[in-house]
Structure 1
Amino acid sequence: METVKKIAVVRANALGDFIFVLPALRALKETFPGAEIVYLGKPWHQEFLKERPVPIDRVVVVPPYPGVGAAYDYQRDEAQLDQFFAEMQAEAFDLAFQFHGGGGNSNPFTKRLGAKKSIGLQAAGAPPLDINVPYIMYFSEPMRYLEVVSKAGARTAFVEPEFETIPSDLDELKTIIPNYQSKKFVVIHPGATDLRRRWSPENFAAVADFLIEAGFTVIVTGSDWEREVTDAVIKNMAQKKHVLNFCGKVSLAGLTGLLSVSKLLISNDTGPLHLARALKTPTVATYWCGNIITSAPFTITLNRTLLSWMIVCPVCDKTITGPASEQNDKDCKHEISFVDGISIEQVKIAAFDLLQQSEEWPKEAEQLPVSPSNYI
């Protein structure tokens, strides 16, 4: 391939989505070290990634565009978009990568950037790019994007997402807990965008009590919009006076710092889980079986993933994941947990296993049996 001087990457979505593309971004930087990588994302990308050691040189915020950084039914501002695309075409990108789903909306967006060559994902019926990789829903997310960049010859030996902290990430924690270095933190994150992926607050509460009784400082985290579920966890705790509620109290940078010094994160399948895994913080996660195909960790030393095999809604009896289930998934509106089949004991044992492995579990605390049979 001829000399590549500037690369556009389209990926304007959430935290976990960004973590999944880190190996592909690294492959691009390693393969084209002289090229400028321009990430087309959301305002939070621009704020959070500034001055961080990531394989991105610049973030450009995408204006609201249906299906790319905005709801599909969002009313387009054509004048704003015309100006944006004129600016992007003036960048003279050599390559533009579409990492933003099946391409129904994002492929026309990517083509309009005017790059010499466009490469990305294409679902059935989506408009094509110059080079296309089939978008199949049930496939590993990090590997999906590594395959896309491989079409331009990009390779890396680092296929697992990795993320580094910067010193300022700890500023908020230092302010809230000045003596944070003397604490043994375990973070519990009970939220998730999809309510069906949420383990019940009562379950998280029982695990939090167990860890506090063992001597750990438990912190419950969440965004402002997750306050209802974080409050429910604390309400159901016997040790509620000893838990720290960080819901809405720290920025994404502050959460990064907290996770980096925590002994363990216990979470649903959601963005902070994937951030913690990229930081190499030990994690215990509850997973709906379909999601394990797309976002499973590549290593197990620091990660325990507990699976729920429930795929039929107990209210409407619709099968909402698996082959030919797309319409059922849209029809089923019942916001009930599909992961509550994972027991409290399973999560306790997984947490104990990881904390004992890292020699953080107190000898005087309750000892639990650990064997392969404890895991799904």
Structure 2
Amino acid sequence: MSGAAVRGLVPGVERLAVLRANAIGDLVVSLPALAALRTAYPGAQLTLIGDEWHRDLLAQRPGPWDRVVVGPRYPGLRGEPFDAEPGPDYEAFLVQQIAESYDLVVQLHGGGRTSNQVVQALKPRLSVGARTPEAPELDRWVPYPPDRHETLRCLEIVDLVGASITSIQDLAPRLAVTGQDLDESFSASASEVDVVVHLGANDSRRRWPVSSFAVLIERLTELGREVVLIGGAADRELVAELPAGVLPGCRDLVGRLTLGGTLGLLSRARLFVGNDSGPRHLAAAVGVPTVGIFWGPNRQTFGPLVGPHRAVTAYRTDCPRCGVERMACAHPDSVVAGVTVEEVLTAVADLHTG
């Protein structure tokens, strides 16, 4: 019998760990699975093994986790390339975490080529996760097809240990907003928050051109909508590309908020508009309607499943510069540049916000 055929609640689970040490969107789409695990194992201590930013954002935040542990520098984890060497913190991490004597470790970190190695090294009583054909087998596992939505993939994994959802609304991610989040957001901007716009995305190929955002902002302003710009310090370069006449009509908070403060600001907004990026996922997780600009394959794996959200999608799958299929090249050219301002404005109007 293969590990894929075994499922059901695991008896006697007192210590449970989940490995998910990647980016903001990756965390948010896994939240329904984390909530399902908490419901299935209400008495277990649930540890999220993530990155430093997970600890900073989540350690004092109500949620299905009891604590957050920073994972090691290891190939494929925390942004490390798959051909990297294990970091100097790896052995100390193993010693500390093996001593926790986990009853169950759940791997929600990709296809398992390297993440399953880490899970096995923790020596849990039972391990569970996904695997590609070349990845090590865990005690219970499901295959890792490349084009499945990440929320559904994570739920399929936790279903192996008896954790499931009961309503379609449980597919919506949820993050609590704290008083500290709100205090920081009001310190940055005490005015009402209408439309929040984010220009950035980690992958330049998924960025809508700044010139298109400029026209969108002008049109929103003409419609009487107030625009607030958000983003990290790296997004300052994109703000600098906006025409001089656009910025005076915006509140520019780019680089001025922590992730918690960003959550607080987003929770006060009527609408979010931006690329397929971490801030769009955060907006959805605090219940704000979103208009996201997606590349087709990413909409399939990270697009909204339920709720007041619209995904304006570009289905181009070849590089605009060299024509290589499915972007198997290093060129940074946008594959979503073909999305029109009118398409985005139609999605905004369709949500009837304001």
- 5 Å matches for 1:347-362? 347-354=344-351, 357-358=352-353, 360=354
Q: Does residue 262 of structure 1 match 2:278?
A: no
Structure 1 contact 66–74 (Cα < 8 Å) conserved: yes
Structure 1 contact 192–270 (Cα < 8 Å) conserved: yes
> Could you tell me how far apart the structure 2 residues matched to 1:142 and 1:77 are?
29
Counterpart of 2:216?
Answer: 207
1:11 is displaced (CA, Å) by: 0.6
| TM-score between both structures, scaled by the size of structure 2 | 0.92
Residues 240 and 216 (structure 1), Cα distance of their counterparts in 2 relative to 1, 3 Å cut:
same
**Aligned partner (choices 7, 17, 20) of residue 8 of structure 1:** 17
**Aligned partner (choices 316, 319, 327) of residue 322 of structure 2:** 316
Residues 142 and 105 (structure 1), Cα distance of their counterparts in 2 relative to 1, 3 Å cut:
same
> Could you tell me how far apart the structure 1 residues matched to 2:198 and 2:317 are?
23
SS at match of 2:128: strand
1:184 is displaced (CA, Å) by: 4.2
Q: Does residue 55 of structure 1 match 2:64?
A: yes
Structure 1 contact 172–250 (Cα < 8 Å) conserved: yes
SS at match of 2:311: strand
1:156 is displaced (CA, Å) by: 2.2
> Could you tell me how far apart the structure 2 residues matched to 1:34 and 1:53 are?
16
1:237 is displaced (CA, Å) by: 5.9
Q: Does residue 31 of structure 1 match 2:37?
A: no
> Could you tell me how far apart the structure 1 residues matched to 2:343 and 2:269 are?
21
> Could you tell me how far apart the structure 2 residues matched to 1:70 and 1:299 are?
29
> Could you tell me how far apart the structure 2 residues matched to 1:334 and 1:164 are?
38
Counterpart of 1:82?
Answer: 91
Counterpart of 2:258?
Answer: 251
> Could you tell me how far apart the structure 2 residues matched to 1:253 and 1:77 are?
28
* AA of the residue aligned to 1:339: V
- 1:235-282 CA-partner distances (Å, limit 9, x unpaired): 326342121211111000111011101111101101111111121101
- 1:58-100 CA-partner distances (Å, limit 9, x unpaired): 111112112112422444345x322211111110101001111
- 1:18-42 CA-partner distances (Å, limit 9, x unpaired): 1011111111110110001001011
Counterpart of 1:173?
Answer: 185
**Aligned partner (choices 223, 230, 234) of residue 239 of structure 2:** 230
1:169 is displaced (CA, Å) by: 0.8
SS at match of 2:318: coil
SS at match of 2:123: coil
SS at match of 1:144: helix
Counterpart of 2:75?
Answer: 66
Structure 1 contact 12–40 (Cα < 8 Å) conserved: yes
Structure 1 contact 212–239 (Cα < 8 Å) conserved: no
> Could you tell me how far apart the structure 1 residues matched to 2:244 and 2:149 are?
36
* AA of the residue aligned to 2:42: P
Structure 2 contact 117–136 (Cα < 8 Å) conserved: yes
> Could you tell me how far apart the structure 2 residues matched to 1:237 and 1:282 are?
29
Residues 77 and 14 (structure 1), Cα distance of their counterparts in 2 relative to 1, 3 Å cut:
closer
- 5 Å matches for 1:145-224? 145-157=154-166, 158-178=170-190, 180=191, 183-224=192-233
> Could you tell me how far apart the structure 1 residues matched to 2:67 and 2:178 are?
18
Structure 2 contact 19–50 (Cα < 8 Å) conserved: yes
With CA pairs under 8 Å and 6+ residues apart, which has the higher RCO, 1 or 2? 2
Q: Which runs of 5+ in 2 are unaligned?
A: 1-9
> Could you tell me how far apart the structure 2 residues matched to 1:20 and 1:308 are?
21
> Could you tell me how far apart the structure 2 residues matched to 1:293 and 1:240 are?
34
SS at match of 1:65: coil
Q: Which runs of 4+ in 1 moved over 4 A?
A: none
> Could you tell me how far apart the structure 2 residues matched to 1:184 and 1:91 are?
44
The more displaced of 129-138 and 221-230 is: 221-230
Cα RMSD of the aligned pairs, angstroms, is 1.5
Alignment coverage as a number of residue pairs: 341
> Could you tell me how far apart the structure 2 residues matched to 1:226 and 1:177 are?
19
